[in-house]
Chain A
Amino acid sequence: EVQLVESGGGLVQPGGSLRLSCAASGFTFSTYWMHWVRQSPGEGLVWVSRVSPDGSDTTYADSVKGRFTISRDNTENTLYLQMNSLIAEDTAVYFCTRDMWGTSDYWGQGALVSVS
């Protein structure tokens, strides 16, 4: 069974940093692109970032470029999102998702990040 479990969310002051983790299991993690998608309270879904299976290729939404860094550890089956210079607009639930041709076929339960 595919499982994605996010951790590392919390309350942080503006300008602060936070690192999210996503522990993957039930599939061969090292062969899949992975994404982070966020959802602000009561709002819609916004794609944040993606990383290639070997971690060498990363892409970001303009809103987080230069502040967020996506990475992965294929030996630990874990996806990361390092978030720096956080602003109020980054407040959201952050979902880790598995890529399937650009769709997200599996989602974690999400990690809440509050910037205040």
Chain B
Amino acid sequence: DIVMTQSPDSLAVSLGERATITCKSSQAILHNSKNKNCLAWYQQKPGQPPKLLISWASTRESGVPDRFSGSGSGTDFTLTINSLQAEDMAVYYCQQHYTIPLTFGQGTRLEIE
């Protein structure tokens, strides 16, 4: 199974500042025919299901604010949230969508400082 490891486990950032979360996969997750990395990011707020923010490492879902961006390649990926808003407080998960079993990172709790 591909192991996904996020860091940090928790993060406190001031409103208006930038938050950066990293995710490392235990092996490459490049979709050969699409030449895209199979890495997704989800946001989960308390009492709610996760919400897909980004797929293919950097493709934002429709309706996701452009302050959310994804980057990375190979085995190292990053979720960046610019100009942090109060509503961004949540747990963020990465997931590889390259192969079964689909696997998630352990989550990063983002708090407002």
Whether A associates with B in a native complex is yes
CB-CB under 8 A for A44 and B105, given A105-B52, A107-B49: yes
Cβ of B80 within 8 Å of any chain A Cβ, yes or no, is no
Query: CB within 8 Å of B: which of A90-116?
Result: 95, 100-105, 107-110
The number of A-B residue pairs with CB atoms under 8 Å apart is 54
Nearest chain A CB to B32 CB, angstrom units? 14
Cβ of B95 within 8 Å of any chain A Cβ, yes or no, is yes
How many angstroms between the C-alpha atoms of A114 and B93 in the bound complex?
A: 24
How many angstroms between the C-alpha atoms of A43 and B62 in the bound complex?
A: 28
Stretch of B14-22, B70-78, B96-104 that contacts chain A: B96-104
The answer to whether A61 and B49 have CB atoms under 8 Å apart is: no
CB-CB under 8 A for A44 and B106, given A103-B40, A103-B97: yes
CB-CB under 8 A for A104 and B50, given A44-B93, A45-B93: yes
How many angstroms between the C-alpha atoms of A45 and B103 in the bound complex?
A: 8
Q: Which residue of B lies closest to A6 (CB)?
A: B49
- Which 6 pairs from chain A and chain B are nearest by CB? A102-B97, A107-B49, A47-B102, A45-B104, A103-B40, A103-B55
- Which residues of B come within 8 Å of A, CB atoms? 38, 40, 42, 48-52, 55-56, 61, 93, 95, 97-98, 100-107
